[in-house]
Structure 1
Amino acid sequence: LVGQVLGQLHRPVEVVVPDPAGLDELTAAGVAVRRGQPLAPWVADWTDLTEDRPDTLLLDLMCAQEYSGADAVGHTPAADDYVFVPSLRPLLVRRSLHMSGTAPGSWAGQGHRLFAVRGKEPS
C-alpha cells in the first residue's frame, strides 16, 4: 500500500485502513492515515493491493472527473474512453455516493453521471 500510494503522481489526501499500524511513511509524506469512513470528497477504492496501477491513475481519474463533472469515473468492459456510460467499474466516486450504500449498477438509473476512461498499462 505504501509503495502504491507514494508512487502516485497525484497522491490522495487520506488513506482509510482497518489498521494504521506500520503506515508511518504515509503520514510522514503528508497522507492522513485513519480508520473509519472516508472524509475526503472523493473516494478511490484501493482494496485490491495485487492490482497493477499506473503512477498516473489518481491524476488521470481526477482530471477526467474535473473535465466531465461526473459522480463516478471508472472502466467498462468495452474499454470506453472519455464517454458517459450507463454502468462502469467505479474507480473514483463522490463520497456521498460511495457512502449511500446503493449498488453501482443502479447509479445511472438514479440520475448519477458515470464517465468511463480507458485503463493504462502500469508504467
Structure 2
Amino acid sequence: AVLAAPRDRHEVARLVAQVLGQQHRPAEVVVPDPAGLEELDAAGVEVRTGPPTAAWVADWTDLTGDRPDTLLLDLMCAQEYSGADALGHAAGGADYTFVPELRRPLLVRRSLHLSGAPPASWCGRGHRLFAVRGKEPS
C-alpha cells in the first residue's frame, strides 16, 4: 500500500504519475480523499480511505520529491533479502545493513504501522530494521 495525502490537484497528478510509473505497482493507494484518483482505479490500483489492508505500507505523504520508477521494487527486494519488519533511511548513511533505528521509514510491515508504536521504539520491541539509501532523495 502507498499512503499519501495529496493537498491539491498538482499533488494528485504527481501521485498518479509516480504510482503508475512504478515497475512494481502497489496493490492499493490509501488517501484521505479519493477525488481525482480515478486513473489509478482504472489501471487496477485500488484507491481507498481508512487503514491499509496490504501487507506492506510505503509512506508517500511527502509528494514534493521525485521517486525512481524502481522504488517499490527495490524496497520489496530488500525486504525479501533481509526479512526485516521495516526498511528506510538510517543515520550515517548506512546501506544494506541492520540498524537499531530508522531515521525515515520507507516501507513498514502493516501490523507494525498499525500498532501506533513510535519508530524510535521498534528495535527495542524486537522488530528488525534494515537500512537502505539511494532509493529516493533523503
TM-score, L = length of structure 2: 0.85
- Aligned partner (choices 108, 112, 115) of residue 97 of structure 1: 112
Deviation beyond 2 Å, 4+ runs, structure 1: none
- Aligned partner (choices 25, 39, 48) of residue 34 of structure 1: 48
Aligned twin of 2:81: 67
Give 5+ residue unaligned stretches, structure 1: none
**Deviation at 1:21?**
1.0
Residues 61-88 of structure 1: per-residue CA shift (max 9 Å, x gap): 0000000000001111322111000011
Tell me: CA distance 1:52–1:77, structure 2 relative to 1, closer, same or farther (3 Å): farther
Q: Which amino acid aligns with 1:48?
A: D
Q: Between Structure 1 and Structure 2, which shows a larger proportion of helix residues? A: 2
Aligned length: 122
Q: Distance in 1 between matches of 2:58 and 2:126?
A: 21
Q: Which amino acid aligns with 1:112?
A: H
- 1:55 equivalent to 2:69? Answer yes
Give 5+ residue unaligned stretches, structure 2: 1-14
Q: Which amino acid aligns with 1:83?
A: T
Aligned residue for 1:78, secondary structure, equals helix
- 1:117 equivalent to 2:127? Answer no
Q: Distance in 1 between matches of 2:34 and 2:83?
A: 32
Are 1:44 and 1:91, in contact at CA under 8 Å, matched by a contact in 2? yes
TM-score, L = length of structure 1: 0.95
Are 1:79 and 1:119, in contact at CA under 8 Å, matched by a contact in 2? no
- 1:76 equivalent to 2:90? Answer yes
Computed over aligned residues only, the root mean square deviation of the Cα atoms, in angstroms, reads 1.1
Q: Distance in 1 between matches of 2:87 and 2:136?
A: 17
- Mapping of residues 13-24 of structure 1, within 5 Å: 13-24=27-38
Are 1:83 and 1:115, in contact at CA under 8 Å, matched by a contact in 2? yes
